[in-house]
Structure 1
Amino acid sequence: MNQNRLEQLLKFLADDPNDPFTLYALATEYRASDVEKARSYYEQLLAEHENYVGTYYHAAKLYEELGQQDVAARIYKKGLQISRQEGNMHAFSELQQAYNKMMGLDYEDD
């Protein structure tokens, strides 16, 4: 974790506590050092900024890594719905691949 970057992000958050990009950046910054803080920022994004598509992949991955596949699956599915609704087919494709992999539905032809 880069302390200077974290301090700057916290200043941004103080200036605008509802900015989804700042919340997302904080979740990403905390991801490696404080999983609970990262999770709380992802949860805030999911609750308050439903259309912030970038959240879904990373939040679901975090839950997947924590062994909470049911929560991860729910987040992937919601992300698929939102990304399609927003017309973000790149995010849709990434979410679909990650969901399929988690569910054991990815396979490669030999």
Structure 2
Amino acid sequence: MEDDPNDAFTLYAIATEYRNFDQQKAKEYYDKLLAEHENYVGTYYHAASLYNELGQQDEAERIYKKGMQISRQEGNMHAFSELQQAYNKLMGLDYEDD
């Protein structure tokens, strides 16, 4: 972090670590990633999931949608699929449990 405080992977790793014990701090790092590194696809799934856990479903929905858009633009169809499944579950469209 000292060498490059804006490195996307480092910020993502820190956010992931904070998530286990300080969700607000994790949210700050995810928000920084979303604002400053929008093409870092890995952020979207975890950030949206955290917002959902915090009871902010509208923001989670927005982040999932943005993540699907970015992952499609980046050609990362694996990430797109994971985001779409999580989005569908958030929206009550997950039929696997039926």
The two structures have a TM-score, normalised by structure 2, of: 0.97
1:34 to partner: Cα distance: 0.8
1:94 alignment partner, one of 82, 89, 92 = 82
Distance 1:22 1:109 in 2: 36
Identity %: 82
1:28 alignment partner, one of 8, 16, 30 = 16
Query: What are the residue-to-residue correspondences of 1:17-56 with 2, within 5 Å?
Result: 17-56=5-44
Query: What are the residue-to-residue correspondences of 1:2-13 with 2, within 5 Å?
Result: 13=1
Q: Which ranges of 4 or more aligned residues in structure 1 deviate by more than 3 Å? A: none
The two structures have a TM-score, normalised by structure 1, of: 0.86
Distance 2:96 2:26 in 1: 33
Distance 2:26 2:43 in 1: 11
1:73 to partner: Cα distance: 0.2
Distance 1:59 1:84 in 2: 18
Distance 1:64 1:109 in 2: 19
Give the letter aligned to residue 55 of structure 1.
T
Give the superposed CA RMSD: 1.1
Give the letter aligned to residue 25 of structure 1.
A
Give the SS at the match of 1:15. Answer: coil
1:64 alignment partner, one of 52, 62, 87 = 52
Q: Which runs of 5+ in 2 are unaligned?
A: none
**Which residue does the alignment assign to 1:106?**
94
Give the letter aligned to residue 81 of structure 1.
Q
1:109 to partner: Cα distance: 8.2
